[in-house]
Structures are given as structure tokens and as C-alpha cells.
Amino acid sequence: DKGNHRHFMEKEIYEQPEVVSHTLSHYIDFAEGRVKLDAAQIDFANLDRLAMSACGTAFYAGLVGKYWFERYARLPVEIDVASEFRYREMPLPGKMAALFITQSGETADTLASLRYCKDNALTIGAIVNVRESTIARESDAVFPTLAGPEIGVASTKAFTCQLSVLAALAMIAGRARGTLTLEDETGMVQALVEAPRLFNDVLKSVQPQIETLSRELSRFKDVLYLGRGTSFPLALEGALKLKEISYIHAEGYAAGELKHGPIALIDENMPVIVIAPHDRHFEKTVSNMQEVAARGGQIILITDEKGAAATTLETMSTIVLPVVDDIVAPLLYALPVQLIAYHTAVFMGTDVDQPRNLAKSVTVE
Ligand code: M6R
């Protein structure tokens, strides 16, 4: 049942405040203001390395998770798409655990990667939405996302719930490894607790602007997404979402890679969507935007109030979000990214919930 929504995808986008809150409460003790140490059945304190693998949107969630585990838990992460991971013959030395991320829990390549790690005697954790799935059954530790059934082929609420679990696990690992101070932990928990209410506000406030923008975007054949740090996986996710449902060609790049190739494509016919909260990478990303502007590229900037105040560059559109903690940013920035893809596809008249050539669950290689 789509409720008042035109598509399941739209309904699922709007469910995010609720399902993210629900998922977070599984890993965070809101009353105490701390992560639940016993929510992780992985001995993070004694690991040298974590291997992660997934496909598609779940892989991009994992990429964000890599930044978090490395920054907050000082735990090196090895991550790859499952179709490569399973054949890499990667050495899996002693103190290593593996973490797989999957909405369906049935993705063939992810399952094969899991079995490879299992054969090598690694402890297996899985962030899964479908509790009865094969991947959930074959894992030592199951970290549920409480997103509820996701019907739209384009993953939305599963992604932000995966990010929620990864944020909590990185903090749990940081606490277990003694790399996260109590002050940082309580500050981040507070930020996460407040996030769902902000999501509601943002979903309401950006909608009219994104509808107008999407009408314009639907005229283009190519779109480039740029981001740095945890906004880089968001750029990849934005490009995937747009191509999946609108069939507009889109690429996601690390902003710093612009000069190493994609800048050759920049002209007035390829809008550039820049994902840039006012974090420690902001200045660098602004200089990439200047490079785009100098070549006649049209910029769509997704930033926060500080970022909007700090740049004078002319843009096609600037989407302004509230200032949030670094741990909340990828979750918050996912919302406009999803809405841009959704509304563009609606203007193009595509089958949003059942895009051509795609299946919800990829159970063959
Ligand atoms: O069920 P999974 O999370 O394992 O699925 C992984 C990908 O197939 C999935 O995220 C796919 O990329 C989506 N269509 C993205 O919107």
C-alpha cells in the first residue's frame, strides 16, 4: 500500500525519519546517551582489520562506514564490491572479521564473499534488512536494519538505516578500542538522536525547490556528482540513483579526481551536483567548484547554512540543509540526493518503482 504517495519509492523516502529512529534505538541507549556496547557481537577491541563487502547502494553505505571505522575506531577497513571481493584471493590474516551489508540478504555475490570469509574462519557480521534471509542465517552476528519491507527497486530507506547501523557500530568499536572519548560519544549520540526530527523538517523544506530543479535536470543527458570524505560515497549513490530510475547518464567522482579526467567533460550541458557540508573538506571542494564554473559548468550545490554563507559562486540551485555533526551528514544529505533522482524520474515519466532491466534482488551472479 502506497498510502498517499504516488510511488513506493516516495513513500519509502518519507518513512526515513521513523525507520532511522527505530533502527538507531536498537544500537543506542537514548536515555543514557551512549551506544549499546552489547549490541555488537564482534570483538572489535581485538581486531587488526575489518573486511567489508556489498553491492550497489549497500556498498556505498559500506564506503561511508569505512571512513567512520577508520576515523572513530582507528580500525583499518578493507572494502570492495562483492563481485570483486569473492574472486580477489585476498589474504585474510589472523585478527580480522568480516562485515557484509545487504537489504535483501540474498544477493549472490555478497553471499559468495561471505562464504569465502567463512571458509577462512573469519567471524562474520551482517547488516541485513530481511531477518529470515540466507545471509542473516549464515552470519555469526546479525545487525538488523529496521527499515521494514522495501518495495521500490531503488534503495532509499534501507540505505539510511544501513548508515545508522554503521555509525553505531563504528562508535561501539571506538569505545571498545578506547579511541572514542566519552565526550565525543555523547556528542555524536545526541546528534543522531536529534537527526530524525531534522529529516522531517528537511523533507518538507527542500521538496518544492527540488521539484523545480528536477524539471530542469530532466532536460540533460549527463550529470556529474562530486563529493569529498563521506560525501564521496554520497556522490556515487546520487549518480546510481539518478541513472537507475531516470536513465540519465550520471557519474559520481571524488571531487579531488576532477582534474584527473572528468574535467574534460565539463560544459554547459553537464550539470555538476556538488555535495559539500561545511566540514573540514569544504574549502577544497569549493576550489573544485570554481574549476567547474570557470569552464561554464552549471553547479547544483547541496550544502548547509554555513557553507551557503561561505560561498559566493553562482549556482543553478543551492539546496541548504541545517548544520549537523559529521556523523549525521551522510544520512541527511541522502535525502535531497534521493529526492532529486525521484522527481527527475517522475518528470521523465519512467516506471519509478520498477525501472527497466533491474530486479529488486540480484540472486544470480
Ligand atoms: O539486497 P542488497 O542490499 O544486497 O542489494 C544490493 C544492490 O543490488 C542494491 O543496492 C541495488 O544497487 C539497488 N537497486 C540500488 O538502488
Reported as a single tens digit per residue, the pLDDT across 223-255 is 999 999 999 999 999 999 999 999 999 999 999
Strand partners, 321: 304
> Which ligand 1 atom lies nearest to the CA of residue 156?
16
Give the SS3 label for residue 87. Answer: coil
With cut-offs at 50, 70 and 90, classify the pLDDT of residue 40: confident
Residue range 155-169: mean pLDDT, rounded: 98
**Residue 170's closest CA among 288, 301, 61?**
61
How far away, in angstroms, is 25 Cα from ligand 1 center? 24
Q: Is the pLDDT of residue 36 over 90?
A: yes
How far away, in angstroms, is 107 Cα from ligand 1 center? 8
ipTM of the complex, rounded to two decimals: 0.99
How far away, in angstroms, is 362 Cα from ligand 1 center? 8
Using a pLDDT cut of 70, give the percent of the chain over it.
100
> Which ligand 1 atom lies nearest to the CA of residue 135?
4
For atom 8 of ligand 1, the residue with the nearest CA is 56
pLDDT tens for 266-311 read 999 999 999 999 999 999 999 999 999 999 999 999 999 999 999 9
Spatial neighbors of 112 by CB under 8 A, at least 6 apart, are 82, 86, 365
Spatial neighbors of 103 by CB under 8 A, at least 6 apart, are 57, 58, 128, 129, 130, 145, 147, 150, 155, 158, 162
Using a pLDDT cut of 90, give the percent of the chain over it.
95
For atom 4 of ligand 1, the residue with the nearest CA is 102
Residue range 143-147: mean pLDDT, rounded: 98
Quickly count: other Cβ atoms within 10 Å of residue 71's Cβ.
17
Q: Tell me what pLDDT residue 255 has.
A: 97
pTM for the whole structure: 0.98
Q: Tell me what pLDDT residue 130 has.
A: 98
Distance CA 45, CA 112 (A): 27
pLDDT tens for 301-333 read 999 999 999 999 999 999 999 999 999 999 999
**Would you name the residues annotated as active-site residues?**
360
Q: Tell me what pLDDT residue 34 has.
A: 96
Lining residues, ligand 1, CB within 6 Å: 55-58, 102-104, 107, 110, 153-155, 244, 361-362
Among 110, 362, 364, 365, say which to mutate for ligand 1: greatest number of ligand atoms within 8 Å of CB. Answer: 362
Distance CA 258, CA 273 (A): 13
Residue range 64-87: mean pLDDT, rounded: 97
- Mutual angle of helices 182-217 and 329-348, in 10-degree steps: 10
For atom 14 of ligand 1, the residue with the nearest CA is 154
Q: Tell me what pLDDT residue 184 has.
A: 97
Q: Tell me what pLDDT residue 89 has.
A: 87
How far away, in angstroms, is 127 Cα from ligand 1 center? 13
**Residue 337's closest CA among 257, 289, 253, 273?**
273
How far away, in angstroms, is 68 Cα from ligand 1 center? 21
